[in-house]
Chain A
């Protein structure tokens, strides 16, 4: 229930297009997008996050990835990695 609340709150923010929660194996647990898009995002972003995390850790083993932002022309994708799950938010910003 709390989970729902939090996710709903995030989704309600201005500019947020979609939210996704992905578990450690890369399976989308909760998503607000349609299936095919979700699968696409999951596959791509999960790997990217893993790579980013391992990069940070390689450079400094004490360090860890807290937040990953991908800004593109049209959108911004925000990823927060957790131990068991990763949360992804897709936002739109206007230049």
Chain B
């Protein structure tokens, strides 16, 4: 339908002035709606509409031009000589020189300059104006920066897209604990990690047995995959030959790899002669051939192997401290320690909390065990000698870390306070004699500087949320790798304050260790005296002793039960008080002296291990009474366990 409006005007009327007039509106066309056309359309219900309140953004790409860099060199030739003189010819140069010297001007200038020069040289000789007057005092550098550590690398199973840092994925779905770390002996750019699941009988079918060697430069793929026949619990690089690694398996076998030959073990020990429990410790020995190693496991044996012939061990030792060599009495070994400077001695840390020092070269097997050190309430998870003082060694187990001296066998010379979580691994720093690292089962890495502060770690870092299982320091002392229960290996770089030797640190550390050792010796002798006296007294008063024994159990039991709960209540109250103080912004006083920490018995999750221990106390007077009490709380716990 076409709507047309026509407006006509006569030609003669063109150009006339317009005379506008008003008139009411007039409808020209009226088009009614045509419902029949509605059939062509469909009613839309609901209607989708959107509103967006964001800023407008556009995407652009820029590609800068590539800069080409080129190395160039310039060859200098001796120049300046006038054209006719060849600088290589000695005669010509000499002649030229002589000619110059004959010039009168030259002589004047030289004389003049000479006097000036003499003046200055004399000045110099008279006094050194740039002399360092206070040179000695300058060397006292105040370390303002607090000790810190920063993560440089995380080898883990991260699946986020924000992996800006290098993070290495553990390609397996089921997560396994990184049980052992070993740095490559020369380059320290490679790390061998043993993965296995240490939960008893929880191995899932699809859990892979592989362990990896990671190269720090390559974040995404392990450099080499080691495929043993059973998961590896411990793994060590051969310090002499960096291509060879030995690993202890979960099923007790030993295997060794050559990285040049690929991921399958070159040789595996036969099952019949191997250990019967996971091999927790495997260390290389110092030998001319560089092929000897030894291993320890919780079945109570320590076996020596030669790599070239893994079909049977060369030697074996049963860890029986009663020195009878019986496997039934043997203690299970959890960690092994060997110091290359003392090739015949080594130490074993056991599940029962005892550290056994052994001598390999003893003539008869019972004599191989030279001494035992007991003091831990749970398995000794780590054992390390101080690289600077071979007689001092560190043990980590239950909730404390202890420092021992080889001479004092009855107790440790120094120890840390009781923590809230288990300590799982520890090692000394290779550069500073009084610094060591420990890892905890709440995922924290502690750095302790015993010269500076003994109550608390100098630095406490929360590495991850899951427990940390292993720890290893790189040889330069600055980078430490820790492995966690879910297979994440984190590398941390420690601030330089904690890994550079201070000026008189060695003397101070020596003094500290000697002091503590002496203190222990004095206490030991005192205890011995008291024990002798007791024995003398008891021999003279046998009847009285018998009576005491009869009525003791009941009374003492109720008394100790009461005291036990009292101590727990006191501790709980103290903790809540400390927390409320903390909330109010006050720092909870580190009033926990060492004595306090020692006296509070282990509550809430005690190990309840099979063998009884002599818990040593510092207040010497209560030796006898405390001795009884400490044995009874253990029975106490067992009772509670029966009830619960």
Chain A interface (Cβ < 8 Å from any Cβ of B): 2-3, 6-7, 9-10, 13-16, 21, 23, 25-27, 29-30, 39, 42-43, 66-67, 69, 71, 76, 78, 80, 82-85, 87, 89, 91, 93, 95
The answer to whether B110 and A21 have CB atoms under 8 Å apart is yes
Q: Name the interface residues of B560-598: CB closer than 8 Å to any CB of A.
A: none
Q: Contacts A13-B118, A26-B80, A27-B81 hold; do A3 and B124 have CB atoms under 8 A apart?
A: no
Q: How far is the CA of A27 from the CA of B116 in the complex (A)?
A: 22
Q: Which of B98-106, B245-253, B449-457 interfaces with chain A?
A: B98-106
Q: How far is the CA of A6 from the CA of B100 in the complex (A)?
A: 17
* Interface of A, helix, strand, loop or mixed by DSSP: mixed
Cβ contacts under 8 Å, B81 to chain A? 25, 27
Inter-chain CB contacts under 8 Å: number: 94
The answer to whether A83 and B109 have CB atoms under 8 Å apart is yes
The answer to whether B117 and A80 have CB atoms under 8 Å apart is yes
Q: Which of B127-135, B318-326, B385-393, B477-485 interfaces with chain A?
A: B127-135
Q: Which of the residues A25, A67, A91 comes within 8 Å of B116, measured between beta carbons?
A: A67
Q: Contacts A3-B101, A26-B79 hold; do A91 and B121 have CB atoms under 8 A apart?
A: yes
Q: Which of the residues B101, B112, B122, B131 comes within 8 Å of A95, measured between beta carbons?
A: B131
Q: Which of the residues B96, B105, B111, B122 comes within 8 Å of A6, measured between beta carbons?
A: B111
In the complex, the 10 A-B pairs of residues with the closest C-beta atoms, listed nearest first? A6-B114, A26-B80, A82-B109, A25-B80, A87-B113, A3-B110, A80-B113, A13-B121, A27-B80, A82-B113
Chain A residue at smallest Cβ distance from B115: A6
The answer to whether B97 and A30 have CB atoms under 8 Å apart is yes
Chain B residue at smallest Cβ distance from A69: B120
Q: How far is the CA of A68 from the CA of B393 in the complex (A)?
A: 61
**A-B pairs with beta carbons under 8 Å apart, 30 shown:** A3-B106, A3-B114, A6-B114, A6-B115, A7-B110, A7-B114, A9-B114, A9-B118, A10-B121, A13-B122, A13-B125, A15-B121, A15-B125, A23-B106, A27-B80, A27-B97, A29-B101, A30-B97, A39-B78, A42-B80, A43-B78, A69-B120, A78-B121, A82-B113, A84-B106, A85-B106, A85-B110, A87-B113, A89-B121, A91-B121
The answer to whether A29 and B100 have CB atoms under 8 Å apart is yes
Encode contact with A along B51-79: 1 for CB under 8 Å, 0 otherwise.
00000000000000000000000001011
The answer to whether B113 and A16 have CB atoms under 8 Å apart is no
Besides A78-B117, A78-B120, A84-B103, 6 other CB < 8 A contacts? A9-B118, A10-B117, A13-B121, A29-B106, A43-B76, A87-B114
Chain A residue at smallest Cβ distance from B97: A29
Q: Contacts A10-B114, A80-B116, A87-B110 hold; do A95 and B97 have CB atoms under 8 A apart?
A: no
**Range, interface on chain B:** 20 to 34
Q: Name the interface residues of B215-241: CB closer than 8 Å to any CB of A.
A: none
The answer to whether B121 and A95 have CB atoms under 8 Å apart is no
The answer to whether A76 and B124 have CB atoms under 8 Å apart is yes
The answer to whether B76 and A84 have CB atoms under 8 Å apart is no
Q: How far is the CA of A43 from the CA of B81 in the complex (A)?
A: 12
Q: How far is the CA of A66 from the CA of B131 in the complex (A)?
A: 24
Interface assignment of B508: CB less than 8 Å from any CB of chain A:
no
Cβ contacts under 8 Å, B115 to chain A? 6
Q: How far is the CB of A27 from chain B (nearest CB, A)?
A: 5
Cβ contacts under 8 Å, A26 to chain B? 79-80
Q: How far is the CB of A67 from chain B (nearest CB, A)?
A: 7
Cβ contacts under 8 Å, A16 to chain B? 121
Q: How far is the CB of A31 from chain B (nearest CB, A)?
A: 10
Q: How far is the CA of A16 from the CA of B124 in the complex (A)?
A: 10
Interface assignment of B107: CB less than 8 Å from any CB of chain A:
yes
Chain B residue at smallest Cβ distance from A23: B100
The answer to whether B117 and A87 have CB atoms under 8 Å apart is yes
Q: How far is the CA of A91 from the CA of B107 in the complex (A)?
A: 23
The answer to whether B101 and A93 have CB atoms under 8 Å apart is no
Cβ contacts under 8 Å, A83 to chain B? 109
The answer to whether B121 and A84 have CB atoms under 8 Å apart is no
Q: How far is the CA of A88 from the CA of B599 in the complex (A)?
A: 78
Chain B residue at smallest Cβ distance from A40: B76
Chain A residue at smallest Cβ distance from B112: A82
Encode contact with A along B609-628: 1 for CB under 8 Å, 0 otherwise.
00000000000000000000
Cβ contacts under 8 Å, A15 to chain B? 121, 124-125
Chain A residue at smallest Cβ distance from B120: A78
Cβ contacts under 8 Å, B122 to chain A? 13
Chain A residue at smallest Cβ distance from B116: A80
Q: Name the interface residues of B432-473: CB closer than 8 Å to any CB of A.
A: none
The answer to whether A91 and B124 have CB atoms under 8 Å apart is yes
The answer to whether A2 and B107 have CB atoms under 8 Å apart is yes
Q: How far is the CB of A21 from chain B (nearest CB, A)?
A: 7
Chain B residue at smallest Cβ distance from A1: B107
Q: How far is the CA of A89 from the CA of B114 in the complex (A)?
A: 10
Q: How far is the CA of A45 from the CA of B100 in the complex (A)?
A: 20
The answer to whether A95 and B132 have CB atoms under 8 Å apart is yes
Chain B residue at smallest Cβ distance from A15: B125
Q: How far is the CB of B428 from chain A (nearest CB, A)?
A: 38
Q: How far is the CB of B24 from chain A (nearest CB, A)?
A: 93
The answer to whether B111 and A2 have CB atoms under 8 Å apart is yes
Chain A residue at smallest Cβ distance from B121: A13
Q: How far is the CA of A23 from the CA of B128 in the complex (A)?
A: 30
Cβ contacts under 8 Å, A91 to chain B? 121, 124
Q: How far is the CA of A25 from the CA of B111 in the complex (A)?
A: 20
Cβ contacts under 8 Å, A71 to chain B? 130
Q: How far is the CA of A39 from the CA of B120 in the complex (A)?
A: 24
Q: How far is the CA of A84 from the CA of B112 in the complex (A)?
A: 12
Q: Contacts A9-B118, A29-B101, A43-B76 hold; do A3 and B111 have CB atoms under 8 A apart?
A: yes
The answer to whether A10 and B118 have CB atoms under 8 Å apart is yes
Q: How far is the CB of A89 from chain B (nearest CB, A)?
A: 6
Cβ contacts under 8 Å, B112 to chain A? 82
Q: How far is the CA of A86 from the CA of B339 in the complex (A)?
A: 66
Q: How far is the CB of B138 from chain A (nearest CB, A)?
A: 13
Q: How far is the CB of B137 from chain A (nearest CB, A)?
A: 16
Indicate the member of B79, B107, B109 with the most A CB atoms within 10 Å.
B109
